[in-house]
């Protein structure tokens, strides 16, 4: 986690996985503060069913506390984005120390990098510097530029005072906690196709119930009842066909 108007140097400790207990240096840099052990422990408990073999993206890597922890817990890969050259160089050294060839550091401005067409990741960490207005645009770019796999998990840290961050409509809040002035949340992305399937299914069930109730109570004169029945049958058939076609186009394997 990064917070403004502070500087410091020290170390982070890997708290789980193959490098559990390893301590790694963190360079002196304004605003650099690692996500605490307590928060990381909670987060990676949430991620435990999904982290192994996942492709991860750490959008504001900083100390690398999140990205390196993911690698320690057998993520397939982690890409760490960091703008400060000195901090990025230390991340490279820490990867070399751990012999973590599944990790990659990119020295870049995160928003510029995410503006490019992306490759899907199963887990994404978003912990931007506070009070710099970076969160909303980061979340938007992740969704619109193809950085998220279907059903991706997105971890977001933000200031408690700001309330819920503005996330895309197809993201569902999965877990949420507060530690001091920091709110940390885990979202799960629903593929737009999955959202369409759910909505079509609900609409189909609504038509079926309307058809059954209409025939049970017959509230209209007979000619009108016949007309409404025909209309409902047509809608049921059309929505059923749409649902079948949409399911047929879904990939069999949704995760890498």
Q: pLDDT over 70 for what percent of the chain? A: 73
Inter-residue contact 24 to 55 (CB < 8 Å): no
What's the rounded Cα separation, in Å, for the pair 73 and 54?
A: 10
pLDDT of residue 73: 98
Q: Given this model, what pLDDT does residue 29 score?
A: 76
- Predicted confidence at residue 234, as pLDDT, reads 67
What is the structure's pLDDT at 204? 61
Q: Which residue has the higher pLDDT, 159 or 230?
A: 159
Q: In what order do the strands lie in the sheet with 103-107?
A: 103-107, 77-82, 55-58, 121-126, 148-159, 182-189, 171-179
Q: How many CA atoms lie within 13 A of 223 on its CB side?
A: 0
pLDDT of residue 65: 96
Output the pTM of the full model: 0.74
24-68 pLDDT, tens digit per residue, is 999 887 767 688 899 999 999 999 999 999 999 999 999 999 999
Please check the confidence at residue 208 and state whether its pLDDT lies above 80: no
The secondary element (H helix, E strand) that includes residue 72 is helix 65-72
pLDDT tens profile 98-143: 999 999 999 999 999 999 999 999 999 999 988 888 999 999 999 9
CB 87 within 8 A of CB 28: no
Helices (H), 82-181: 85-98, 110-114, 135-144
> Taking the domain 11-190, which CATH number applies?
3.40.50.150
Where does residue 93 rank: exposed (0-12), middle (13-18), buried (19+ CB within 10 A)?
middle
**Under a CB-based contact definition with an 8 Å cutoff, are residues 131 and 4 in contact?**
yes
Query: Rounded mean pLDDT of the chain?
Result: 84
Helices (DSSP H) in 129-168: which residue ranges? 135-144
pLDDT value at residue 192: 59
Annotate 27-53 with b (16+ C-beta within 10 A) or e (fewer): bebebbbbbeeebbebbbebbeebbee
pLDDT at 245: 56
List of E strands, 160-228: 171-179, 182-189
Q: Provide the pLDDT for residue 213.
A: 63
Residue range 236-243: mean pLDDT, rounded = 62
* CA atoms of 144 and 111, how far apart (whole Å): 13
Phi, psi angle pair for 41, to nearest 5°: -60, -45
Position 163 confidence tier, pLDDT thresholds 50, 70, 90: confident
Q: How confident is the model at residue 252 (pLDDT cuts 50, 70, 90)?
A: very low
- pLDDT at position 2 is 46
- Scan for tokens 């069913």, then name that residue: 49
pLDDT at 188 over 90: yes
What residues does each domain of the chain span? 11-190, 194-249
Q: What residues pair up with 173 in beta bridges, in sequence order? A: 187
Residue 178, pLDDT above cutoff 50: yes
Distance CA 85, CA 62 (A): 11
Q: Report yes or no: 201 and 243 within 8 Å, Cβ to Cβ.
A: yes
């Amino acid at each position: 986690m990064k917070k403004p108007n502070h500087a410091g140097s020290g170390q982070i400790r890997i708290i789980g996985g193959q490098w559990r207990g390893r301590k790694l240096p963190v360079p002196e840099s304004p605003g650099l503060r690692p996500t605490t052990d307590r928060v990381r422990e909670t987060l990676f408990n949430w991620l435990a069913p999904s982290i192994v073999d996942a492709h991860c993206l750490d959008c504001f890597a900083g100390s690398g506390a999140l990205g390196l922890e993911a690698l320690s817990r057998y993520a397939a890969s982690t890409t760490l984005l960091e703008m400060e050259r000195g901090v990025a160089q230390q991340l490279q050294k820490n990867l070399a120390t751990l012999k973590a060839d599944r990790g990659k550091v990119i020295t870049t401005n995160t928003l510029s990098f995410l503006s490019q067409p992306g490759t899907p990741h199963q887990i994404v960490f978003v912990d931007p510097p506070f009070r710099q207005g970076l969160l909303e645009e980061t979340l938007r770019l992740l969704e619109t530029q193809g950085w998220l796999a279907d059903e991706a998990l997105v971890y977001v840290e933000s200031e408690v005072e700001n309330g819920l961050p503005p996330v895309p409509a197809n993201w569902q809040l999965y877990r949420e906690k507060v530690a001091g002035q920091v709110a940390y949340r885990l979202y799960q992305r629903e593929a737009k196709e999955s959202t369409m399937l759910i909505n079509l299914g609900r609409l189909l069930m609504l038509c079926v119930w309307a058809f059954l109730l209409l025939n049970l109570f017959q509230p209209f004169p007979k000619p009108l009842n016949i007309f409404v029945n025909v209309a409902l049958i047509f809608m049921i058939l059309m929505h059923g066909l749409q649902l079948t076609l949409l399911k047929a186009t879904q990939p069999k394997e949704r995760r890498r």
